Each structure stands twice: as C-alpha cells, then as structure tokens.
Chain A
Amino acid sequence: MILLYIGAGLMVIGALCDLLAGIGMLRFKNFYLRLHAATVGTVGGAVVPLIGVALAALGMPSLPGRLAIAGASFITALIILLVAPAGSTALAYAAHRSGVEGNFHFDHLRGEER
C-alpha cells in the first residue's frame, strides 16, 4: 500500500515536471535553454512517473499482470534515462556546430570567454 502512495506521488511529480517543461518551452529565450526544459520534460516528466507506475503496480496485489507492468515500466524508464541525455547532447552539439547563438559565459567547444 505504501508503494502505491509513493508511486502516485512520483506520478504527480512527473505531471508537475511536464507542466514546468511546457511553460519553459514557451517562455525560455534561446535554443539551449529550451533544450534544458525539454530534458526536464523527458527525465522528470517521463522517467519519474514511469518508475511511479512500476511502484504503484507492485503495490497493488490484486492487479492482474502487475509484475509485467512493473518490469516494462522500469525498463522503459531505464532506456529513456539512457537515451534522453544522449539525444539532447546530440541536439546541442549539432546546434552549436550550425552556429545557433546562446548567451554562454564560457564556450567549451570553442574554448573562448564570452
């Protein structure tokens, strides 16, 4: 039962992260900041609630196929956790290569102070 409440809490946190990510996508000024919001949306808004789903499924003994649901959710969460940072790294790198401007303090890829 306690697992169910923890899972539900994680799902609520995920929904909040998605909301914040959506607001961030609309309000942030340049590409790199929006990328930050997008990653909040994927890690906070997809990985966390998926772990929540897994815990909630484990906390409901009467649910048919709960182990399958929990396992699939955990693995999906793991894969997203692995892939999302790589995706945003690739996006940021490609954007930097094609000259998208951001308000950097220090540009490590070019190695110069702004």
Chain B
Amino acid sequence: MRRLIFGIILIVIPFVVTYLYPISAPSSIHSLGEFYLKDSLTSVRSPEVVTSILWDYRGLDTIFETAVFFLAIMGGLAIFRELKLEYPSWEEFPLPVKVVTKVTAVLIVTVATSLALHGQLTPGGGFQGGSTLAVAPLLVIGAVSLASLRKIGITLERAVLVRILGLTGIVILALIPLALGGYAVQNQPYFPSEFLGTLLGGSLLWYNIFEFLAVGAGFTAVFLILAVAGGGRND
C-alpha cells in the first residue's frame, strides 16, 4: 500500500510541477542579455554567445577559473607524488568488449575534437571537449588495461606535460594583446576573426584548443593515478 501511494505521488509530481511552472518564452529580455545577443556576432565575431562571454567578455574570470582547476589537479597529483605508476596489464575482457571499446574510444576522441574546434560556432568548447576526451583513456583503462594505454603512448608524465603546455598557451594568448599595446585577454582586433569564410571568433578558437588540451590531459592524469591508487584491478 505504501509503495502504491509512493508510486502515485511519483507520477503526479511531474504533472503538478509542469502545471505550476508553464514553460513559456519571456515577454522581454534583460538589457544586458540583449546587449550580448546583439553584440556577440559583430564585435567578437562568434555566433555562440556562451563561448564569447566565457572567453571574451568575461575572459579574465575564465582564466582564473582555469588556474584554480589547474592548481586543484596539480595539488591532487602532488599528494600522490610518491606513487610509482607501473602500468600493469590485467586479465582482459572478452574480445568483442575490447574491440568495441577501442572503436568507441576513437569515436569519442573525434567527437571531443569537433566539440572543441567548433566551440565558437556551436554549443561546446574547450572544457566540454576536454572532459569528453578524457573519457576515452578511462574506457580503455577499464576495458583493456593500463599497459595498452602506455603502448599507444599515453603516460602520466606526458599527460602532465600536455597539461602544462595547454596552460602556458592560455597565459601566452592572454598576454599577446598586452604586448601589442592592448589590454590583457583582449580579443579583437589582435586575432584573425575569419578563415576561408568560417568565423573563428578571434582568440576564442585558440583558447578553446589550449583549454581542450589542458582539461583533457588533466583528467587523463587523474584517471591514470586513480586507476593505480585504488589498488588496480586485482585478478
């Protein structure tokens, strides 16, 4: 009886919530929002307003955010600095699982790259692409082994190196306009806004690429550490 009542409540709640909060278009847009929507394409040269707010209008915020995330991951890695990563090979799943995992990993890398490179045109961007990218090594660790990950050249040292390169790239990008006489984290007119008819959004594309590398490599490093720090899979 209690389960029945619980079930009825569970079914009724969505209808009540939908009835109480009808989804409708707002009658007016806040003036700040209107400014971003109208200004983004002409001044940032990017139709994707979220990315242009993240890397242009509020670019300094995002750089601080990236620095905080960098410090968090580096702090996490520092805790495990005594750990010797050995890339063990463990008993593997049956063949179909391994093959499908490898095919899926390639697909994930492709989707992640397109998310990052299209960040200034469609929803997505560096962080989203990077987090998607890091799922591929995680899947390979789970379904195949750490040893196979090293065989294709993904090691902890390289992941940390790529992460540092990504962060350095972001800092250099932020300082380029300053060196050319503008402000730090300024976008136009210091970066090319168009290439072969495709909008690049000025610096947005480059920020996205470096953020993609930094986040993807950072999460990969953490997954590598966690795969071993948890004791690995004991077979």
Contacts and interface: CB of A to CB of B under 8 A. Distances in A.
A107 B219 CA distance: 40
A93 B103 CA distance: 20
A83 B104 contact: yes
B93 A90 contact: yes
Interface string B98-138: 01110110010000000000000000000000000000000
Contact of A82 (B93, B100, B143): B100
B104 A89 contact: no
Interface residues of B, number: 11
Nearest to A75: B107
A33 interface: no
A86 interface: yes
Q: Report the interface size class on chain A.
A: under 10
A86 B104 CA distance: 11
B123 to A, nearest CB: 14
B178 interface: no
Contacts of B94: 89-90, 93
Interface of chain A, main secondary structure: helix
B99 to A, nearest CB: 8
Interface string A79-109: 1001101100110011000000000000000
B97 interface: yes
A79 B103 CA distance: 10
Nearest to B104: A83
B96 interface: yes
A83 B100 CA distance: 7
Contact of A79 (B93, B97, B101, B107): B107
Highest count of chain B CB atoms <10 Å: which of A79, A82, A86, A89: A86
Nearest to A90: B97
Contacts of B104: 79, 82-83
Nearest to A94: B93
A83 B97 CA distance: 9
Highest count of chain A CB atoms <10 Å: which of B96, B97, B107: B97
A83 B104 CA distance: 8
A96 B143 CA distance: 16
B135 to A, nearest CB: 13
A26 to B, nearest CB: 12
Interface in B193-214: none
A90 B97 CA distance: 6
Contacts of A93: 93-94, 97
Contacts of B96: 85-86, 89
21 contacts: A79-B104, A79-B107, A82-B100, A82-B103, A82-B104, A83-B104, A85-B96, A86-B96, A86-B97, A86-B99, A86-B100, A86-B101, A89-B93, A89-B96, A90-B93, A90-B94, A90-B97, A90-B143, A93-B94, A93-B97, A94-B93
Given A86-B101, A89-B96, A93-B94, 4 more contacts: A79-B104, A82-B100, A85-B100, A86-B99
